[in-house]
Amino acid sequence: MPHTMVIFGASGDLTSRKLIPALYRLFRQQRLPAQTRIVGVSRTKFSDEQWRGELAESMRKFIGKEFDEAAWKEFSQWVFYQPGDIKAEEDFRHLAARLEELEGGQPTDRVYYVATMPQLYQLVAAQLGKTGMADDTQAARRIVIEKPFGTDLKSARELNQALFKVFRESQIYRIDHYLGKETVQNIMVLRFGNTIFEPLWNRHYIDHVQITVAEEVLVGRRGDYYDKSGVLRDMFQNHLFQLMMITAMEGPVKFNADLVRDEKVKVLQAVRPFVGADFADCGVRGQYEGYRQEEGVDPESPTETYAALRLHIDNWRWNGVPFYLRSAKAMSCRTTQIVIVFREPPHCLFGTDSRAKHLTNRLVIQIQPAEGIQIHFQSKVPDAGMKLRLSQLDFRFDKSNGPMPDAYQRLLQDVLQGDASLFARSDEVELAWQIIDPIIAAWRSPAAPPLHTYPVGSWGPEAAREWMERQGREWFDVCPVIH
């Protein structure tokens, strides 16, 4: 069946930087369904040819040597543009007529990609409903929503309820580009496709888990937005929780969307709620030096640019195993990694090295930028008696399989095929906010733990290191280790 992808917010950065390049690459790989049309919608008064010209320029900029004039000419014949204001119902009726014209009256599956400001998500859905464009009696109709899925539990519920007035849950695709990364998907294969890892993936062998999403950049021109959001809303409720769910979930009976998402939701349901004094010691708050002088930032801002949290998942597999989640701006390097830290051997045969607790086995899953896996294990130093050292085995995805595809390629292909496995479900989104909202409230209250400062280019506040030391552990503060 033919497909049409309608992109609302077609003149925006996301469309030119990510969506069109991903669709172009899928076209060149012959992975787009036959007769896939792409229709951009925004207020700018472009013709089809003018928008194609604008996209060609941005493509040359963003994909460089991958741009091929002949391939683009062929691909662009399936690219169209319809001027329209999202606030005008009449413009949606014009869009409906244009789509009918392009599709020639044939039953055609449609994907509506909402790449607009979050404030417009509900309005787009409502307009699609009013104009009959969500009717799927003849062919599939799907809507893709970019994060953020609300700014708290209340707004997330309001967004979900607005979407449900027009679309069923099975038609709604809440996209988090982290789930499109090959390394994230490979966590499930690593666990459930091998017999050497899954038997160890529990409280009997794992001491704790660290999940880090570190950014080198400062807030820059996003100061006004970031100061209202902060790191907990910006990174924890979505990216970090997604990584935690995939790391901690049970294996589904089959690999399909509903069963995979059922198991992810169970992880959030098992997260131990914070009560009373828990909020004072559940983590560490930080703000990089100079943040309050950034453009758009309140000179007395209490907003965190660094946060570390300790979560407990109260089920049979993970009881007693803390999950340490942290994210920050202005860090030493850009890295996203999951570190599985195994327990120490029950008995030390080879001396009483005071560093032994720092030399436990580790499995490092590097999500970005150097996608791969590293195993840390003990080995003997040659010609040095029974002295031990930490050695490693490395696996790099790009060395084995060539350049890694962009996350949006996989996600857009899945949307077109109707596979929701890598997309967030409404209950998943709301459960995540139920965990984060009380922490944000506590950290904005008079009883909030101290807001520590840290130098730009460091690994965060010294208080975070001390907090881990009090628990007998240490952060894995290493820039991408896989070579």
Q: Report the alpha-carbon distance of residue 302 to residue 444 in Å, rounded.
A: 8
Give the pLDDT band (50/70/90) at residue 71.
Answer: very high
With a cut of 80, say whether residue 207 has pLDDT above it.
yes
pLDDT at position 351 is 64
Catalytic annotation present for 208: no
- Give the DSSP H/E element, type plus range, for residue 7: strand 3-8
With a cut of 80, say whether residue 349 has pLDDT above it.
no
Alpha-carbon distances of 174 from 20, 132, 348, 361, 421, rounded to whole Å: 19, 22, 49, 36, 11
| pLDDT higher at 216 or 352 | 216
Cis peptide before 148 (omega within 30 of 0): yes
Q: Quick: pLDDT tens for 282-296.
A: 999 999 999 999 999
Q: Report the alpha-carbon distance of residue 336 to residue 182 in Å, rounded.
A: 13
With a cut of 60, say whether residue 483 has pLDDT above it.
no
Q: Report the alpha-carbon distance of residue 136 to residue 156 in Å, rounded.
A: 25
pLDDT at position 358 is 54
Distance from the Cα of residue 82 to its chain's centroid = 30
pLDDT at position 348 is 72
| pLDDT higher at 150 or 481 | 150
- Would you give the end-to-end CA distance of the chain in angstroms? 44
- Give the DSSP H/E element, type plus range, for residue 91: helix 89-103
With a cut of 90, say whether residue 412 has pLDDT above it.
yes
- Is 422 exposed, middle or buried, given 0-12, 13-18 or 19+ CB atoms closer than 10 A? buried
Q: Are 230 and 328 in contact (CB under 8 A)?
A: no
Q: Quick: pLDDT tens for 327-347.
A: 999 999 999 999 999 998 877
Q: Report the alpha-carbon distance of residue 306 to residue 465 in Å, rounded.
A: 13
8-state DSSP, 366: E
pLDDT at position 352 is 55
pLDDT at position 409 is 93
Alpha-carbon distances of 434 from 118, 233, 315, 430, rounded to whole Å: 20, 12, 19, 6
With a cut of 90, say whether residue 313 has pLDDT above it.
yes
pTM: 0.92
Q: Which positions ≥6 away from 326 have C-beta within 8 Å?
A: 210, 211, 212, 213, 214, 306, 307, 308, 309, 460, 464, 475
Query: Which entry of 3, 177, 239, 312 is annotated as an active-site residue?
Result: 239
- Give the DSSP H/E element, type plus range, for residue 14: helix 13-14
For residue 443 the two structure tokens come to: 């950290």
* Mean pLDDT of all residues in 318-334: 96
User: Which phi and psi (to 5°) does residue 48 adopt?
Assistant: -55, -50
Rounded mean pLDDT of the chain?
91
Q: Report the alpha-carbon distance of residue 19 to residue 412 in Å, rounded.
A: 8
With a cut of 90, say whether residue 221 has pLDDT above it.
no
* Mean pLDDT of all residues in 59-63: 89
Tally of CB atoms within 10 A around 400: 8
Give the pLDDT band (50/70/90) at residue 185.
Answer: confident
Q: DSSP per residue over 225-287, as a string?
A: HHHHHHHIIIIIIIIIHHHHHHHHPPPPSSSSHHHHHHHHHHHHHHBPPP-TTHHHHSEEEEE
* Mean pLDDT of all residues in 115-141: 95
Q: Which of 206, 279, 284 is nearest to 247 (CA)?
A: 206
Q: Are 355 and 379 in contact (CB under 8 A)?
A: no
